[in-house]
Structure 1
């Protein structure tokens, strides 16, 4: 029994380490984007063009959005449609079915995105395409697309099946928040 607790603690530590790394990368991309935009603004003020700044900002933004998507899936901070769920009785079996449909549809969605984005990244790698200003290989620009799709699916599975508080939020989101919006007339 003690070994089982140790295994759970070790698995939790590995999951927490992964998301600390992801959060750190997100912080770096947002900070980098802010720094590049400041450099670009200062360059315009002093009439010194920084030709690579717009391109780098765009690429950092792409990384930021995709990493943010993965983090959003990990904490279930994303848009959801709960209208059908609101019409059903709130029994334990309905909550389990709701969670299963939610998780399955999201994992299938991210699996398809991963498949398409891996294909695009490999085509860019094989073509040797380079970005115009920075002369970076374009596959490095599209790399976060499939990496973050995989992270989003991992985060979703962790939040839906291994994190009780987030799982409860996912299930309760269908009951409380949507019901309040429906009654308030904002849906």
Structure 2
């Protein structure tokens, strides 16, 4: 729902910019900045949403190893993803601190609010990666084979 609202806000903002700039010849100064910051938030919220649905692009080459090694690789990859996302979430906090005194040019928003998108997105991705690892650990051998089988067109990570 958040992604739909952000896309809707971006659509309205860009349409306003086009109408005011080209039809009325009086461009609105804030629309570009709002659309840009909305896109940043959309990127990280959507990335977390996609991770939660396990729809990120991945390459799965462990099917031929059998279900148990495949499960182990899935869990290991999930651990690397979770650790990376957690690290990025922590680093985004220091980035927010560094940007806390900066204000956006037109909207006069604190830039920490914009940079917070990284922390929120990576924190959500960390939670989803951990949930995915738990789900992978609970898979039976039959579930691994059924989930991945011989299919090469859809891959879950």
Above 0.5 in TM-score?
yes
Q: 1:94 aligns with which of 69, 86, 99?
A: 69
Match of 2:51 among 73, 87, 92: 73
Q: Matched residues in 2 for 1:144 and 1:47: separation?
A: 33
- Aligned partner of residue 82 in structure 1, secondary structure: coil
Cα RMSD between the aligned structures?
2.6
- Counterparts of 1:107-186 in structure 2, within 5 Å, are 107-125=82-100, 128-162=101-135, 172-173=147-148, 175-177=150-152
**Runs of 4+ displaced beyond 4 Å:** 162-165
Whether the aligned pair in 2 keeps the contact of 1:82 and 1:178 (CA below 8 Å) is: no
Match of 2:7 among 18, 30, 34: 30
Structure 1 Cα separation of the partners of residues 114 and 106 of structure 2? 13
Render the CA deviation track for 1:61-98: whole Å, top value 9, x for unaligned: 00001000000110111111334x25x4223x213202
- Distance in 1 separating the partners of 2:119 and 2:39: 15
- TM-score normalised to the size of structure 1? 0.71
Check the 8 A contact 2:37/2:114 in 1, yes or no.
yes
CA distance in 1, matches of 2:124, 2:149: 24
CA spacing shift, 1:146–1:41, aligned 2, 3 Å: same
Greater Cα shift, 156-165 or 58-67? 156-165
- SS at structure 2 position matched to 1:140: helix
The reply on whether 1:41 has 2:14 as its aligned counterpart is no
Alpha-carbon distance in structure 2 between the residues aligned to 1:123 and 1:179: 41
Instruction: Structure 2 unaligned segments of length 5 or more: list them.
Output: none
When normalised by structure 2's length, the TM-score is: 0.83
Structure 1 unaligned runs (5+)? 1-23, 181-187
The total of aligned residue pairs comes to 149
Mapped partners of 2:93, 2:148: distance in 1:
33
